[in-house]
Structures are given as C-alpha cells and as structure tokens.
Structure 1
Amino acid sequence: MASLKYMAGFGNEFSSEDPSCPGSLPKGQNNPQICPYGLYAEQLSGSAFTCPRYNNKRSWFYRIVPSVLHKPFNSIPQGNLSYNWDEINPDPNQLRWLPFKIHKASEKMVDFVTGLHTLCGAGDVRSRNGLAIHIYACNTSMENKSFYNSDGDFLLVPQKGNLLITTEFGKMLVEPNEICVIQQGMHFSVQVFEETRGYILEIFASHFELPDLGPIGANGLANPRDFKVPVAWYENRKVPTGFTVISKFQGKLFAAQQAFSPFNVVAWHGNYTPYKYNLQDFMVINSVSFDHADPSIFTVLTAKSTRPGVAIADFVIFPPRWGVADNTFRPPYYHRNCMSEFMGLIKGHYEAKEEGFLPGGGSLHSIMTPHGPDAECFEKASKADLKPERVADKTMAFMFESSFNMTVTKWGLETCNCLDKNYSKCWQPLKNNFNPNWKPNAK
C-alpha cells in the first residue's frame, strides 16, 4: 500500500493526481474531448448546479472506467439498519446505554456495513430532511466490497480500533480521537485490524460546515487548516469473481456487481471531498471569570437548518481544558432543552457522570427531558476548593445535538441488550437543601 498522504484545509478547492501518472489532471478545462492517459471524466455533485458559488460543491474524477459500469442493483438484507421511527412507542425518559457489543470474529464475521445498527433518529430520507444516529461494531474488513450513501453524509467517530478507509479520492487512516466525514455519494471501503466500534451521525440535508465564530473573532474552535483531505491513489484491479457495490438508497440497502475496483480514480479536483480531523487540535474557548458557559462553545462542525441559529445537528466535544471559574458550580448545570442531546464517550471519565457512563456507550436526553450531573458529582462540585484545575484530562466525550425530536429504534430499546435500566437512579440521592433561614453571609 502506498504511504498515506494528505492535503490540509476545510472546504477549499483541491487538486490531486497519483504521482505515477504525471499530467493525468487536465489543465484548463474539466472535460476535454480526450482525457490524458485515456481516462474518463466524471463529476460528483454534492449540491444543486445553481447553488451560490460559496456553497456549491462538486469534484471531478479522472478514472480508468466510469462508475456507471455495473450490473443492476438488487435489494439485500438490512440487518439492524432502520429508518422506521414508528416501530416502537416514543420514550421521553433519560436513556443510557452500556458499551455496545462487538462480536468476536470467532463468533461471527461482521464488516462495517453488516455491523451498522441504527440507534435513533428523525425525519425522512426521501424528503432529505432529518438525521440518524448509528453504532458500527465490526471485526473484519470489507473485501472486494464498497459502500456509498445516497441519502446523506456520514460523520464517523471511532471509539475502539483504527479504520483504514479507502475512498475514490485516496486513503485515510482514522484513529480513535479523530473523526472523518464521508459525504453523500462517495464510494468507500473500510479495513479494520481488530474488534472495532464507533458512532455515526448521519444527516439527510445540507452538509457539515464550520460554525460561525461571531464575537470570538478570526481564530478558535476547529481551525480549517487542521482538516485533512486524502491525496489521489488508484488501483487498476480487475475482480473476476465480482466486486460488490452497496448503495444505501431511501434507507434501504442494494447491491450491484462489477468486474473492477471502483477505486480507480487517477486524478481529481474539487471542493467536495472526504476529510478527517484530529480532536486534539481543537482550540478550546472557555470562561475565565464565572459561570459555566453553554456547550455550543465546543462545536466542531454544524449542519445548518433553514432557521437561523438552529442546527439540524451539531457535533460538540468536551476536550481536556482548564477550569478557572470563580464562585461557580463548574460541571454542567441542570437543564431542559429544546434540542435532543446524544452523548458518547471515546475515552476516559466524563466529569458530570464518572460512574456508569462508559467508553463505547452513550446516553440520550430528549427534547425537554431534564438532565444534569448525578448526585455524586453535585455533592463533590458544591464543596470543591475552586482553584484552577484540569478538566477532562485523558478524556474525550462528545455530543450529537439536534433540533429534531429523535425516536429510539427497537434495536436501541430492546434488541441490543445494552440499555442501562438503572440510569435514573443516579439522581435519586439528590437532597432538598432548602434553608428558609439562609442569610446572605452564611455558607
């Protein structure tokens, strides 16, 4: 395998060609009558042709044969992938899951596609409005198989095990504490090296972008230059036994056969690409006076809705940082929200729930369902000596936040057998500390 190479930047116009074929990228035009090396030109559009220039997304491929050269698609089993939000009654309770199970290879061979499990979501893939949250849990690589999502974008958050992702644009190695985004329509294949698990946020409308910084100014949060885009890499490989291309279309899986690898792009250019980002590069903004700032200051990527300031989904992280706020209850405050909040843990111990919320698990606090630190955290933080301290050292928790009112699937509530039925007990020891005789100078 060629060494992995990347270009840096977010949302820029890139161009790349495999160094073994210099000049394979046409100069001065996108679709010449005859492409260099006898290649085919093919465009991948991620937006309507008539979108304003600033958010028009497309890339041109120069490939050995076009992607249209496949046999008809046929329906294949869905497994635990689901977009039926009505299969089970909604549940407004606070929900928490223990680490999601990964089958051992000796028990069952599971690759990335067969290891997809839909946990919750809302909206409709056909009208391109909404989102879904999935868990992937796999133990074997995709062999002579690729996948593309006709319905939307995938944001992958690895928690256990590395992913070597081959795309039409090149290869990306994505490790825990990194994320990657595979946008709508992009072919990819996933190679794994051990039992592997992670989280996926899928959006059906728009694309992920960097949040506006407003009064923060020009710098802070995730910097565009820290996002990495793969460099062109191709394979000219015939597969006599058949290469399987899987399409997720209107929430269903379909497979087609072809006699060659789809990763045959020798050169490409455009601004519609897969990309990855290392979460340790996030520049944290935080309070240096008093009070606990809203979690929106930790937003890495956002998918905007048509309502100003309201997101289809935000990807938010809670990275290691310093806590210095004076006269403040420093952990997250008790809260009811007009957004749905799914949290996952990549590593470490989340500050507001150091017990029970485990790496590889998750929690869902639905719209207007109250939540906040457990009783142990409240007691500890209420009595803490408020000196500067490191928060979340060796920890990385994250949140998928959405304006959609998400429903949990039957797999999430019943089949996965990971639901923590004792979750609500973590708040039961909270005491009534009301003192009607309290004086302003009293502690």
Structure 2
Amino acid sequence: MTELTYLTGFGNQHSSEAVAGALPIGRNSPQKAPNGLYAELLSGSAFTAPRADNQRTWMYRRRPSVVVGGYEPLAHALWKSGAAEGERAPPDPLRWGPTPLATEGDFVDGLRSYAVNGEVGITGMGALAYVATRAMGRRALVNADAEMLLVPQQGRLLVTTELGRLEVAPGSIALLPRGMAFKVDPLDVPARGYVCENFGAAMRLPELGPIGSNGLANPRDFEAPTAWHEAEDVDYEIVKRYGGQLWRATQAHSPFNVVAWHGNLVPYRWDTARFMTINTVSFDHPDPSIFTVLTSPSDTPGWANVDFVIFPPRWMVAEDTFRPPWYHRNVMSEFMGLVLGQYDAKPEGFKPGGASLHNSYVPHGPDAEAFDKASGADLRPHKLDNTLAFMFETRWPLKPTSWALNDAPLEKTYADCWRDLKDDFHA
C-alpha cells in the first residue's frame, strides 16, 4: 500500500489537493471549478452557528453526490439504533466475553449492537462491536444518523473516506463525521473492534479548566487525511444509515472522487499513546473524567451525551490509597471495552475484545481478587503497563439489544466476582 500522509490538528481549517491547482483560491464556488470539477459543501452544523462551532468542508469532486440511483431497504438484523430498539434493561452489571471471530463478512455485515439509548439522529448513542473478514471493496457506508468512532482491538484497518485514507491500528481510533461516505477494509484478517454511534452534538476536545493549557489529548496529535481520489470509474453500492434504517443504492462511479477539499469537518485518527495522562501524586483518586479524550455535550452543562474515556498505561504513586477504581454508583451509564492487557479492577475476568455495561446507578467496582490484592499491596510507585481500556459514558441508561442478551457471549455469573467480599467490620 502507498504510504499515506496526514494533516495535523483537531478542528483546524485544513486544505488538501491530490492534483495541483484543483483547489480554488479565494472562491469556494467559482462559476467553473478547476479541472472540470464540481463544488459541493458538506455542512455539519447550522449555517448560522457561531464561527467557533461551525463545521463544514468544501469538496471539489469529479461528480457530485446527487448522482446516485434510488434507494431501497437493506436488512440488517443486528445493527440497532435508539432506545426503542433495545430490550428491557435489568438492573444488573453485565459483561461479555470477546466477540466471536467466526463471523464472515465485511465491516457493515459484521456490526453488532450491544446497547442503545436516545433517539436516532437527535440524542443518545449506540455501542457496537464489529468483526471484518473481508474488504468492503466497491461498497461504501454513509451514516446520516450519527458520527462514528472506531476503536480497533485486533487487526489494522484502512479507512477510505471522501477526503482521503487513514490507516488505523489497535491503540489508535478513527472519528468519522456524520454524513460522510467511507469504507473500512481490514489489513489484517480477521479484524475486530468497537464502534460508538453518536447521535448528539459532534465530539470535541473537553475543556481543561484548572488543568490549564496542556494535558489530556493534544489537538496537534489528531491526524486528518490528505486528498485522494479513486481513479477507476466503477460501480459502487452505497449503503446509507438513515432514520435508524439501512438503505442501499447503486451508482456508476466511486463516491471517493474528491480531488481537492478545504474545511474543518474532517475524519481523524488519533494514537492513544499520545494521551498526556493526569493522575494523583499525593493521595486519593481524581475523578475518571481526567481520562476524557473526546466529549459530545448535551443541553445540560457537564452532563455529556457521550464521553470517550481511555485508561492507558500510567504510573500509580498515591500514598495510603486504594489504587484501583473505587466502588460506586454513577448517574451516568458506562459501557467499557478492553483493547489489550488487563484492567486493574478486573485482573482476570475482563478479556480483550470483551465488553461490560454498568448502567445508571448500578453498583460496580473491583472484584474480590483485586480488592484483596490492592488492600495489602506495598504502595511503592509502579506502572500499569501493557493495558488499554476505554469507556463510552452517556447520560441516558443504555438498553441492551436482543443479540447482547441472547446470542453474544454474555457472562451469566459476572456478579459472582463480588461474592467473596466479606463483612470484616470490627469495633
């Protein structure tokens, strides 16, 4: 594969051209675009949104995206959206083993919804797994309902978008704007990972508050693709997620025909190893919000539609402190996945490629083994290494899907991991 190049900076006004002179200078929509191209605008916000919040990209393409055949429904039994497509959620902690790799198909075929909430295209999120054993080839996906965050767990991906291509490996993520065509081809087979569908406000970097000007995810570490267009004029199937349903159409050309573009509504990849972790250097715990990479705010300040949080390698130095996460009940709902290694609160039971769901006000915390080990540990500085867990945290309760409750590798005895926590009170 040809080496890919990238533009850096989250939210920047980027520009790129695959052919010199294809990008108009000084005019977004000239009477005749250079090189016989068509000008097309993709808007991710209302036209009159404040300048700091306005998201849009101008594309200069060989054919506009209106040149497509009529759509017809496309069945997909396991990709669900919105609270209405979830099942009654039990007030139990839920955990799943690794998603089986036996599924045959491409990225779209291999999507499986674990849990959903909110209303399609308006608010809320969906947590999904994917397994891909073949390339999408001449097939593209447009999610008009949601922004999509990809978290690979096994196998590298080549993500082709209208603005260019991204190579994304486990340990990195890809953020794909709502309404932009893309396809996902595994570079290693089988590929497996997680997806967050975000129906609310587009994800952004969180405010840093008293942390100051440096820390967490740095804007300059986010990478956008450079312009690339598919040279062949070939038939494509366009799969569209619209109104919580899948639709398909065919067209006689590639949707990846953008020769030049400029704007700030772009796909990104980001390497989790570049996260500047903040942690205590005295005693006790800071809140897990210090591990937030991206946030989709809601209409209630501080109460996110969805936060993307990671738990990367880090030094643990707190004195006189129980170092794993504490026992708690959270107003927010927490969907977790494990990319590699062990999670310190569940050293054996939580496996890479698996998932857990601790819904709103469902108690959870370290298992009995982790509690006993941490309670008597020598509190010297030590590094949690070779680990990467993440969390999709959301303001609304998540409703598991029928697949998650009946067909996925749900661990029926998950709650037993706390069974040996004894009452050792003494006066």
Q: What TM-score results when the alignment is normalised by the length of structure 2?
A: 0.98
Q: Deviations over 1:163-197 (max 9, x none)?
A: 10111110000000000100101100111130011
Corresponding residue number in structure 1 for 2:397: 405
166, 175, 182: which is aligned to 2:176?
Answer: 182
Matched, 1:112 2:103: no
The AA in structure 1 aligned to 2:54 is N
The AA in structure 2 aligned to 1:23 is G
Corresponding residue number in structure 2 for 1:169: 163
8 Å Cα contact 2:82/2:120 also seen in 1:
no
Structure exhibiting the larger radius of gyration computed from Cα positions: 1
Matches within 5 A, 1:115-126: 115-126=110-121
8 Å Cα contact 1:140/1:191 also seen in 2:
yes
Q: Which runs of 5+ in 1 are unaligned?
A: 437-443
Matched, 1:414 2:411: no
8 Å Cα contact 2:95/2:357 also seen in 1:
yes
8 Å Cα contact 1:79/1:114 also seen in 2:
no
Identity level (%): 51
8 Å Cα contact 1:85/1:408 also seen in 2:
no
Residues 10 and 415 of structure 1: is their aligned pair in 2 closer, same or farther, counting only changes over 3 Å? Answer: same
Residues 62 and 84 of structure 1: is their aligned pair in 2 closer, same or farther, counting only changes over 3 Å? Answer: closer
Corresponding residue number in structure 2 for 1:429: 420
CA shift, 1:415, in A, is: 2.0
Q: Quick one: distance in 1 between partners of 2:183 and 2:313?
A: 32
8 Å Cα contact 1:163/1:174 also seen in 2:
yes
42, 45, 48: which is aligned to 1:47?
Answer: 45
Structure 2 SS opposite 1:238: coil
8 Å Cα contact 1:341/1:401 also seen in 2:
yes
Q: Deviations over 1:125-149 (max 9, x none)?
A: 15x1111111111211101100010
8 Å Cα contact 1:152/1:202 also seen in 2:
yes
Q: Quick one: distance in 1 between partners of 2:94 and 2:35?
A: 56
Q: Quick one: distance in 1 between partners of 2:377 and 2:120?
A: 48
8 Å Cα contact 1:103/1:138 also seen in 2:
no
Corresponding residue number in structure 1 for 2:56: 58
Q: Quick one: distance in 2 between partners of 1:88 and 1:212?
A: 35
206, 210, 231: which is aligned to 2:226?
Answer: 231
8 Å Cα contact 1:103/1:110 also seen in 2:
no
Q: Quick one: distance in 2 between partners of 1:353 and 1:49?
A: 47
Matched, 1:24 2:36: no
Corresponding residue number in structure 1 for 2:77: 79
Q: Quick one: distance in 1 between partners of 2:105 and 2:216?
A: 36
Corresponding residue number in structure 1 for 2:371: 378
8 Å Cα contact 1:292/1:331 also seen in 2:
no
330, 340, 345: which is aligned to 2:333?
Answer: 340
Q: Quick one: distance in 2 between partners of 1:388 and 1:90?
A: 40
Structure 1 SS opposite 2:124: strand
Matches within 5 A, 1:204-243: 204-239=199-234, 242-243=235-236
Q: Deviations over 1:235-257 (max 9, x none)?
A: 13222xx3101100011110110
Matches within 5 A, 1:287-298: 287-298=280-291
The AA in structure 1 aligned to 2:265 is Y
Q: Which segment drifts farther, 267-276 or 185-194?
A: 185-194
Q: Quick one: distance in 2 between partners of 1:164 and 1:83?
A: 25
Corresponding residue number in structure 2 for 1:441: none
Q: Deviations over 1:313-360 (max 9, x none)?
A: 111111111111111111100000100011100000101101110000
Q: Quick one: distance in 1 between partners of 2:315 and 2:153?
A: 24
CA shift, 1:84, in A, is: 5.9
Q: Quick one: distance in 2 between partners of 1:83 and 1:12?
A: 31
Q: Quick one: distance in 1 between partners of 2:226 and 2:91?
A: 45
Number of corresponding residues? 425
Structure 1 SS opposite 2:379: coil
8 Å Cα contact 1:163/1:191 also seen in 2:
yes
8 Å Cα contact 1:43/1:58 also seen in 2:
yes
Q: What TM-score results when the alignment is normalised by the length of structure 1?
A: 0.94
Structure 2 SS opposite 1:129: coil
Corresponding residue number in structure 2 for 1:149: 143
CA shift, 1:88, in A, is: 2.8
The AA in structure 2 aligned to 1:74 is E
Structure 1 SS opposite 2:364: coil
Corresponding residue number in structure 2 for 1:69: 67
The AA in structure 2 aligned to 1:12 is N
Q: Deviations over 1:14-54 (max 9, x none)?
A: 00001xx2110000010000011000000000011111110
245, 254, 258: which is aligned to 2:238?
Answer: 245
Structure 1 SS opposite 2:337: strand
Q: Quick one: distance in 2 between partners of 1:216 and 1:194?
A: 41
Q: Quick one: distance in 2 between partners of 1:285 and 1:34?
A: 51
Corresponding residue number in structure 1 for 2:272: 279
Corresponding residue number in structure 2 for 1:94: 93
Structure 2 SS opposite 1:357: coil
CA shift, 1:89, in A, is: 2.0
Q: Quick one: distance in 1 between partners of 2:302 and 2:82?
A: 28
CA shift, 1:311, in A, is: 0.4
Corresponding residue number in structure 2 for 1:362: 355
Q: Quick one: distance in 1 between partners of 2:281 and 2:5?
A: 39
Corresponding residue number in structure 2 for 1:159: 153
Q: Quick one: distance in 2 between partners of 1:32 and 1:260?
A: 24
Structure 1 stretches of 4+ with a deviation exceeding 3 A read 84-87
The AA in structure 2 aligned to 1:295 is P
202, 211, 223: which is aligned to 2:197?
Answer: 202
